[in-house]
């Protein structure tokens, strides 16, 4: 994780027809609202199968994790789910400490996500 | 900070407005002090997470409160913080419990006192932690 604060920006791309959010920078109590808005936007647009690419994060705390978990709950209530892309050892450790590694399906890169999602129809 | 001060022990106080925007200021300030004390990069990154979670707990308390004060002290053995915010109790919901778990995991020692409320965090310096 980085030595200096980076403003959060969010890129969106598709994996096997499913929207993927890629937050880039730091997610903490000050920036988590940006991530929440992006996730809510996709859910409100009717997307229930989401991918969250955590590879661009330089910092993530429990507020960010909580928001991602809340978005996953909403996706599942709508009949979908959320897949995480993460190979960052520090974030994987955070997921493990909080038990989120048992809740989420986690893959290490977009190619693996493509294979996992390839057989599923969007939304 | 002179070399003598770093070796023997000293302290400073950081007072921050009670706003999420200043969480990063706390993280980076404590990281800077930890680096001057010889704490390695990985351990500093861990402590930054612990500090962030402490700030999260203090900012999400149910009552409005005043500024957050961080008393920073160091000895030859450890870097210690006491984070306080006057004006209410700490939250006790699921998110707060997760924040506490993370905070204590990433520090070498810590405690929460509901009076104040007050959060104590410690990170060992290399000679003591090796």
User: Could you state, in order of their start, the residue ranges of all structural domains in chain A?
Assistant: 9-112
CA distance A31 to B71: 25
pLDDT in tens, B39-50: 999 999 999 999
Q: ipTM greater than 0.90, yes or no? A: no
User: What's the whole-number mean pLDDT along residues B10-25?
Assistant: 91
Residue A67 forms contact with B (CB below 8 Å)? no
* A108 has a pLDDT exceeding 90: yes
The share of chain A scoring above pLDDT 90, in percent, equals 89
* A79 has a pLDDT exceeding 90: yes
Question: pLDDT tier at A118 (50, 70, 90 boundaries)?
Answer: confident
DSSP characters for B70-87? EEEEE-SSEEEEEEEESS
Phi, psi of A34 (to 5 degrees): -60, -45
Distance from CA of B102 to the nearest CA of A (A): 7
**How many residues appear in chain A?**
123
Which pLDDT does position B52 carry in this prediction? 95
* B130 has a pLDDT exceeding 60: no
Nearest 5°: the CA angle B52, A84, B42 is 40
Strands (E), B22-127: 68-74, 78-85, 109-113, 118-124
* B129 has a pLDDT exceeding 50: no
CA distance B14 to B67: 10
In three state form, how does the secondary structure of A4-41 look? Answer: CCCCCEEEEEEECCEEEEEEEEEECCCCHHHHHHHHHH
Of A1, A3, A30, the CB nearest to B23: A30
Question: pLDDT tier at A2 (50, 70, 90 boundaries)?
Answer: very low
Interface of B with A (CB under 8 A): 19-21, 23-24, 27-28, 31, 45, 48-49, 52-53, 55-56, 59-60, 95, 98-99, 101-102, 105
| Cβ atoms of residues B15 and B69 within 8 Å | yes
| Cβ atoms of residues B60 and B94 within 8 Å | no
The superfamily CATH assigns to domain A9-112 is: STAS domain (3.30.750.24)
B98 vs A62: CB contact, 8 Å cut-off?
yes
| Cβ atoms of residues A52 and A13 within 8 Å | no
The share of chain A scoring above pLDDT 70, in percent, equals 91
Which pLDDT does position B66 carry in this prediction? 86
B102 vs A94: CB contact, 8 Å cut-off?
yes
Tell me the chain A residues in contact with residue B49 when contact means C-beta distances shorter than 8 Å. Answer: 61, 94
CATH of domain B3-129: 3.30.565.10
For A14, A52, A58, A88, B99, the CA distances from B107, given in Å and listed in that order, are: 38, 28, 19, 20, 12
The domain limits of chain B are 3-129
Least Cα distance to A29 among B23, B99, B62 occurs for B23
Mean pLDDT of chain A: 92
Which pLDDT does position A121 carry in this prediction? 55
pLDDT in tens, A19-77: 999 999 999 999 999 999 999 999 999 999 999 999 999 999 999 999 999 999 999 99
* B3 has a pLDDT exceeding 70: no
B110: which DSSP letter?
E
A46 Rama sector, left if φ>0, alpha if ψ -120 to 50, beta otherwise: left
State the CB neighbour count (10 A cutoff) for residue A111. Answer: 11
Of A28-42, A55-69, A95-109, B89-103, minimum mean pLDDT range: B89-103
Which pLDDT does position B95 carry in this prediction? 85
Residue A1 forms contact with B (CB below 8 Å)? yes
B53 vs A62: CB contact, 8 Å cut-off?
yes
* B123 has a pLDDT exceeding 80: yes
């Amino acid at each position: 994780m980085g030595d200096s604060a980076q403003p959060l920006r969010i890129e969106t791309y598709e994996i096997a027809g499913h929207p993927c959010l890629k937050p880039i920078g730091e997610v903490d109590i000050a920036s988590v609202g940006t991530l929440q808005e992006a996730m809510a936007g996709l859910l409100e647009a009717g997307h229930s199968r989401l991918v969250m690419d955590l590879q661009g994060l330089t910092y993530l705390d429990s507020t960010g994790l909580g928001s991602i978990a809340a978005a996953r709950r909403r996706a599942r209530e709508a009949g979908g789910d959320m897949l995480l892309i993460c190979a960052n050892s520090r974030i994987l450790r955070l997921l493990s400490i909080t038990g989120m590694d048992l809740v989420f399906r986690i893959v290490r890169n977009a190619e693996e996500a493509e294979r996992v999602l390839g057989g599923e129809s969007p939304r | 900070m002179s070399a003598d001060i770093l070796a023997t022990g000293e302290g400073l106080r950081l007072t921050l407005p009670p706003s999420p925007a200043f969480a990063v200021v706390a993280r980076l300030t404590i990281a800077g002090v930890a680096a001057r004390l010889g704490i390695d990069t990985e351990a500093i990154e861990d402590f930054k997470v612990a500090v962030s979670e402490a700030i999260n707990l203090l900012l999400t308390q149910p009552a409005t409160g005043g500024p957050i004060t961080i008393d920073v002290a160091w000895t030859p053995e450890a870097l210690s913080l006491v984070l306080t915010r006057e004006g209410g109790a700490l939250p006790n919901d699921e998110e707060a419990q997760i924040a506490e778990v993370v905070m204590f995991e990433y520090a070498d020692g810590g405690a929460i006192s509901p009076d104040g409320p007050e959060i104590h965090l410690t990170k060992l310096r290399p000679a003591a932690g090796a």
